[in-house]
Chain A
Amino acid sequence: MPQTDAEKKRKFRSARRMREIMTEYYIEAKTADQTGKKVAWITSGGPVEPLIAMDVIPVYPENYGAMIGASHMGGDLCAKAEALGYSTDLCSYARADIACALEDGGPIGGLPKPDMLVCCNNICGTVMKWYEIQARLYDVPLFIFDTPFCHVDFAEEARRYVRTQIDEYIGFLEGVCKKKFDFDRSMEVGRLSLKGQRLWQDVLDAAAYRPSPMTAFDAFFFLALIVTLRGTDKVVDFYTELLEEMKERVSQGISAVENERYRLLWDNLPVWYRLKWLSDTFAAHGACLVADTYTTAWCGSMKYIDENNFIDSMAEAYTRIYLNIGVDEMAKTIFAMIDKYEVDGLVMHSNRSCKPYSFGQYDIMRMVQEKKGIPCMMLESHMVDERSFSESQTLTRIDAFMEVIRQRGPRAGTAR
């Protein structure tokens, strides 16, 4: 199908650069055994900066899980995990990765083997079980960075505990890498990390313009860098360029969705194997998913970071991230996003893979309806296991939801 000029214009030129960077990154990671670098597997919300400071290559099974989902390999791999005895109700990132590790299958021929495992439970309890499994399989050292859940606050004793673990973590790295930790270098890495996070927030904020130059689906794509290479100048350079592109789009009035009429907020991880379909389905209603709670999580706790004391302030920043707080705290974040991006409705992805993200959504939904008075809908999936997804049911729900939004008419925006 030939693309129209408008469609061509809507494509991000940065997408190509992004793919290049990710390819370079995976090549470097996969050839680590030849270059003598060490590889650490780390959870997506984990404290990566000390690894970068130690020249260890961080590898993210969750990012890999997203790749598996987007390449529609999730169903097969999950089925393989089930054959090993893993229940179909478990997180599909974990199931897919466990199956891959055992057979070197999956995209890019599998992940490079880890020299160590770093698991931070600030996102869920699943990662702890998942990393135990990999620790048994690869028989490599496992460090658990335990971030006590903040139902209502970050208790003093929790602060002490997490802070002490940073020292233990550094000791762990020194032991595995057999070299001293360079604190000066870590300061620099910390600064770059914060800079990257600020830029990422700026990129996401561009969606506050009407019409929005980007959708949440673009954010899901561009997210990979802040997750995997946080703390390097690559991230800073790339997001600087991406931000430039956003500004251009805004000034030229290039909208991500043709004739944007309605603006929506997405909650939870993406449905990785239906990104395009969902994006097109909403776009057909003139609706743009302008923002989401998931990609925002990688810059949501910047306020706790002290640029001049990264190592100390890291304790709080890594503990008080979006998924490690109470349902009412999460709702407050959502209220703020509803206002900031001036959205007309909330789309909640009830994700069978992710219980900590999904349980509590009904309560949040009610709070949003009460406090913000906007319509909400819920759709269900297992984010990388496409076998259980019902396209027709989802479509019916979206149509019904958009009908409600249409009847209310677009929110009178104070466009920027």
Chain B
Amino acid sequence: MNILNEFIEVAGDPGAYARRIRASGRSVIGYYCSYAPEEIIHAAGLHPVRLFGTGGDSGIADRHLQAYCCSLVRGALAESLTGGLDYLEGTVFPHTCDSIQRLSDIWRLNTGHGFFADVVLPVKLTGESARQYLIDVLQRFKRDLESYFGLTVTEESLRSSIRTFNIIRSCLSEIYELKSRNPGILTGGELFSIVRASMVMDREVLRDRLQALLGELRERVTGRDGRGRRLMLVGNACNHPDVYDLIERSGGQVVWDDLCTGTRWFSGAIREEGDPVASIAERLFERQVCPSKHKSPTARGEHIAAQAREHGVEGVIFLYLKFCDPHSFDYPYLKGYLKDAGIPSMLLEIEDRLPPEGQILTRIETFIQMLVPGTGAAFTGASQTGREG
């Protein structure tokens, strides 16, 4: 499949792709979080790119950040300070966890990537005042972009961006659903490459490629149930394609996730009627919540347990970057909710690199072998579930 290869290529070197966009004369705006208002950046004619904080731990981050900071934040800063982000003409920091909050300050004071904006989202995503505030914040962001780049973001361009992003998100949701029903249709690593590339590619090109890929995948559906126990990944932004391979070699397969490089990022559609900025805000308000935001004390537990049941998940792997406060605080209770639903789980805490392969393989294998056989079987006959909406 040529389309698939294209995704794999982009995902393998997102920086190279972004540089090509830049060379074609378009400004590239980067961000580290799935709460970034990509649609507004796109509607402004700029190119939105998700960054992954893969600057490695060269030591340069030590000048600004202690060792007890997560590798995403450290890697992000290193990426910038070592010149790896020279293609950027701007960065956007949606407000989320305490570490990103301070990274934004350090970034503003020490790096120079042109346009800079803090999008100080509400922390509480419930109640009328927060809803209104979120709209106001996005309006401000739009004005900031307009005045810095000297352009106007028209209502029509916002609407058109919204339509593009809705198609992209619904394609990704459907690919996920297909993979859940027919796990052999794509490897976990392939699916992850698709998601990762989708955060980087030119969105019009992406929209067309995803639709074409989906067409091909629909054709291939029969007889591809795949082998292995049905697993779900839960965590922060996961940047480890090799984890999928390790899981598959251990007798498992990832059929669903709750990741910011997964369903948390693409779930939910934007209303195409009404005020476009308000509609963009509404989706951010209603989407699956990040643990650094508050919806209700039990929202994530209920959501994750429900998703696990819906997708016939036999076991959950929590994949956390070390030193991540919001996710670590949620872990004991999420584990409890899953336990109540009869779903076992394990925790893998990682830094920017995975631990030695032998060690991690043994742990995953042991976990998978302990899963009670047959629990996921009920799923094989599951009917066509509707797309996430």
Contact surface of A with B, Cβ cutoff 8 Å: 84-87, 89-91, 94, 121, 124-126, 128-130, 132-133, 135-136, 142, 144, 146, 148-149, 151-152, 155, 157-158, 160-161, 164-165, 168, 326-328, 350, 352, 355-356, 358-363, 380
Contacts and interface: CB of A to CB of B under 8 A. Distances in A.
A149 B121 CA distance: 9
10 contacts: A128-B294, A133-B333, A136-B298, A151-B118, A157-B140, A161-B122, A328-B105, A350-B66, A359-B65, A363-B64
B186 to A, nearest CB: 33
B318 to A, nearest CB: 10
A355 B99 CA distance: 7
B325 A90 contact: yes
B101 A149 contact: yes
Contact of B95 (A126, A148, A160, A363): A148
Contact of A157 (B133, B297, B323): B133
Contacts of A89: 68, 322-323, 325, 328
A169 B329 CA distance: 25
Q: Which 6 A-B pairs have the closest CB atoms?
A: A157-B136, A129-B329, A85-B332, A359-B102, A161-B133, A327-B105
A148 to B, nearest CB: 5
A352 B70 CA distance: 12
Nearest to A157: B136
A146 B122 contact: yes
Nearest to A94: B329
A85 B335 contact: yes
Given A125-B101, A133-B297, A360-B102, 5 more contacts: A129-B329, A151-B120, A359-B99, A361-B66, A362-B64
Interface stretch (B124-132, B231-239, B366-374): B124-132
B325 A91 contact: yes
Contacts of B333: 133, 136
Contacts of B326: 125, 129
A358 B102 CA distance: 9
Contacts of B68: 89, 352, 355
B291 interface: yes
Contact of B109 (A135, A146, A327): A327
B290 to A, nearest CB: 11
Nearest to B101: A149
Given A128-B123, A363-B110, A90 B95 contact: no
A161 B132 contact: yes
A324 B57 CA distance: 28
A79 to B, nearest CB: 15
B130 A146 contact: yes
B104 interface: yes
A129 B330 contact: yes
Interface of B: 63-66, 68-69, 95, 97-99, 101-106, 108-110, 118, 120, 122-124, 127, 129-130, 132-133, 136-137, 140, 291-292, 294, 297-298, 322-323, 325-326, 328-333, 335, 347, 349
Contacts of B132: 160-161, 164
Contacts of B330: 129
B106 A160 contact: no
Contacts of B104: 151
A37 B157 CA distance: 57
Contacts of B97: 125
A125 B291 CA distance: 10
Contacts of B129: 161, 164-165, 168
A129 B106 contact: no
Contacts of A360: 64, 102, 105-106
A209 B292 CA distance: 44
B148 to A, nearest CB: 15
A161 to B, nearest CB: 4
Nearest to A350: B66
Given A130-B329, A136-B333, A356 B102 contact: yes
A42 B92 CA distance: 32
Contacts of A85: 331-332, 335, 347
Contacts of B124: 144, 146
A135 B335 CA distance: 17
B358 to A, nearest CB: 24
Nearest to A366: B63
A359 B110 CA distance: 14
Contacts of A91: 325
B108 A363 contact: no
Nearest to A130: B329
B130 A362 contact: no
B69 A121 contact: no
A358 B122 contact: no
Contacts of B349: 87
B90 to A, nearest CB: 16
Interface centre among A87, A89, A125 (most CB of B within 10 A): A125
Given A91-B325, A129-B291, A135-B297, A151 B98 contact: no
B98 A355 contact: yes
A328 B107 CA distance: 12
Nearest to A382: B68
Interface centre among B63, B69, B133 (most CB of A within 10 A): B133
B330 to A, nearest CB: 7
A121 B123 contact: yes
B332 A84 contact: yes
A130 B110 CA distance: 32
Contacts of B66: 350, 352, 358-359, 361-362, 380
Contact of A155 (B123, B140, B291, B292): B140
A126 B329 contact: yes
Interface centre among A124, A126, A151, A164 (most CB of B within 10 A): A151
B120 A90 contact: no
A355 B105 contact: no
